[in-house]
Chains A and B, each alone.
Chain A
Amino acid sequence: MTAAPSTSRRHWRSVVLSVLAAAVVFVLAWKAVVIVGGYPVFILPAPEVVAGRFVTAWADGTMAPHAFATLSEIVVGFVVGATLAVVVGYLLARSPLAERLLSPYLVAAQATPILAIAPLLVLWLGTGLLPKVVICALIVFFPVAVSTMVGIRSIDRRLLELGRSLRATRWQVFRHLELPAAMPQILGGMRVGVTLAVIGAIVGEWAGADRGLGVLVNLARGSLFDFPLMFATLLTIALIAIVLYLLVVLVERALVGSWR
């Protein structure tokens, strides 16, 4: 933060260079596997084929509506799930009764494969946005709730005593002491949660949907036999996940980067 501009520019150049280098190695290895193995396009299309299909799918408007649908499911599901998780995580940390009552269901919900629940949710809630949001929220919930609870519980008691000596209200203790103290852990949980939300959205779409990247993967593989499109869709999913993850990291830097 306090580094001189030239230093930070050099830092960024080295970051970009190393990311590019890793990408080049990855693509070359992929290409080598295709050449050496002599795989047909329906097993493993070459990287340049996928790249070409990626560009055309975005250019001709095939990809965008599906990507937008999936992105909205992820974002809404993540926000709903993470918000609820912070509230419940706080309750679990501060109320032994809540922990006793809720924890079996939380563990059970987490342990039950989301793949098995997804078709049920679609059956109950239809094929629209709602079931995907619920699935994303469910899958995001657990890691964020756990990290919130751990974060709140591990707050330094001495800071709480400070709050008491200053007559902080219950809300002030939460807002100014517990929440900021737990923020690093909460954001760590959200890093995990956001990538899981991407999986949740795709699983939800497989269980029943007419739009979304999960739908497009199925279409490309099952009825269009357009395997480069399928890989281009996977690439889009991966890119969405990376961008969302980086967004959480940016939020983390903004919120806790300067004091840690």
Chain B
Amino acid sequence: MDEARSTEDRSLAAINVEKVTRSFTVDGRSVLVLDQVTFDVPSHGISAVLGPNGSGKSTLLRLISGLLEPDSGRITIDDQPVADADQRVGLVFQEPRLLPWRTAIDNVAFPLQLAGVGESERHERARALLDLVGVGAFSAAYPHQLSGGMRQRVAIARALARDPQILLLDEPFSALDALTRERFNGELLELWQRTGTAIVLVTHSISEAIYIADEVVVLSKGPGRVVARVPVPLGRPRNPDVRESEAFSRAAATIRAFLSGTPAELAEEEAAGAPIRDVLERAGAPAFFDPFRGAP
């Protein structure tokens, strides 16, 4: 990448991922998860990252949000390097990750509370966000009283609480049924139009990626490499009919061809990405006074 191009991009690019490489140590050996990944997302643009399991998609989002550091390469947001747990980023995880002991509104207000925002102000803001994602009527409900879809809406509202420039979504709709999922795709686009954030959406679904994004970044199976960056030739605003269009199917065919090297959506959960997720999801072993317990 030469100097001229990067200066030209500078005014446009919200996110710049440059030759990012990251590996993890699993059982004493190093596993390469992302290899020289490069792409960028213009400000107020939407990119979808598509790839089979184990292509390092979640790791990529953690790198952009500053939860992880790359081994090499560079990630910038508006030309500033990403900081540790960068607050310019709002993160929506694969599961809603709501605090079960807080009501919907208190969950959305949580990031603001941590930032020291006063109670009335943060509730006002949280209420507006709940309205924005369409669950204003359930602000006093606890997560266990909400459906899976509503919980994910609350999680999106929470990610928007600190007014991020960038919204990162990690397969946020994968637990929803197909119909709800398509409706959520449309709503995400409306939300995007109203909030003006840039979005990176990690997904398994080709049609979801095309419907939402300006550009689809296709990753290979582990280690994740950028196989292709497929631009989506569809105008905005998009409505569901666009899924039936010629351009849509052509884009889908292109992407499928790039993915065909790897059995994309049916890929078994193994290889590079899997052990890392395991580590994160493993609850602490509740052993007490047990000298025979192995080191964590």
Contact = CB atoms under 8 A, between A and B. Distances in A.
Chain B binding site: helix, strand, loop or mixed by DSSP? loop
A199 interface: no
A172 B286 CA distance: 22
Nearest to A184: B101
B97 A158 contact: yes
A157 B114 CA distance: 18
Contact of A162 (B97, B101, B285): B97
Given A103-B289, A106-B289, A157 B85 contact: no
Interface stretch (A61-69, A133-141, A163-171, A225-233): A163-171
Nearest to B90: A165
A3 to B, nearest CB: 14
A230 to B, nearest CB: 39
Contacts of B142: 258-259
B100 interface: yes
Nearest to A164: B85
A153 interface: yes
A10 to B, nearest CB: 23
A100 to B, nearest CB: 8
Contacts of A107: 289
Given A153-B286, A157-B284, A161-B67, A259 B100 contact: yes
A215 B95 CA distance: 58
A165 B101 contact: no
A103 B283 CA distance: 22
A177 interface: yes
Contacts of B117: none
A164 B287 CA distance: 25
Contact of B111 (A103, A166, A180, A256): A166
Interface in A214-260: 256, 258-260
A152 B286 CA distance: 8
A103 B100 CA distance: 32
Contacts of A159: 97, 99
B280 A180 contact: no
Interface residues of A, number: 35
A155 interface: yes
Contact of A150 (B143, B288, B291): B288
B286 A154 contact: yes
B289 A166 contact: no
Contact of B85 (A92, A100, A158, A165): A165
Contacts of B287: 153
Contacts of B5: none
A114 interface: no
Nearest to A149: B288
Interface of B: 65, 67, 85, 87, 91, 93, 95, 97, 99-102, 110-111, 113-114, 142-144, 280-289, 291
Given A146-B288, A166-B111, A176-B99, 9 more contacts: A100-B291, A154-B283, A155-B284, A156-B283, A161-B280, A165-B65, A165-B67, A166-B110, A176-B113
Name the 8 nearest CB pairs between A and B, nearest first. A153-B284, A103-B289, A150-B286, A259-B101, A180-B101, A259-B142, A153-B286, A154-B286
20 contacts: A103-B288, A103-B289, A146-B288, A149-B286, A150-B286, A153-B283, A154-B286, A158-B95, A158-B97, A158-B281, A159-B97, A165-B67, A166-B110, A167-B87, A168-B114, A176-B110, A176-B114, A180-B101, A181-B101, A258-B142
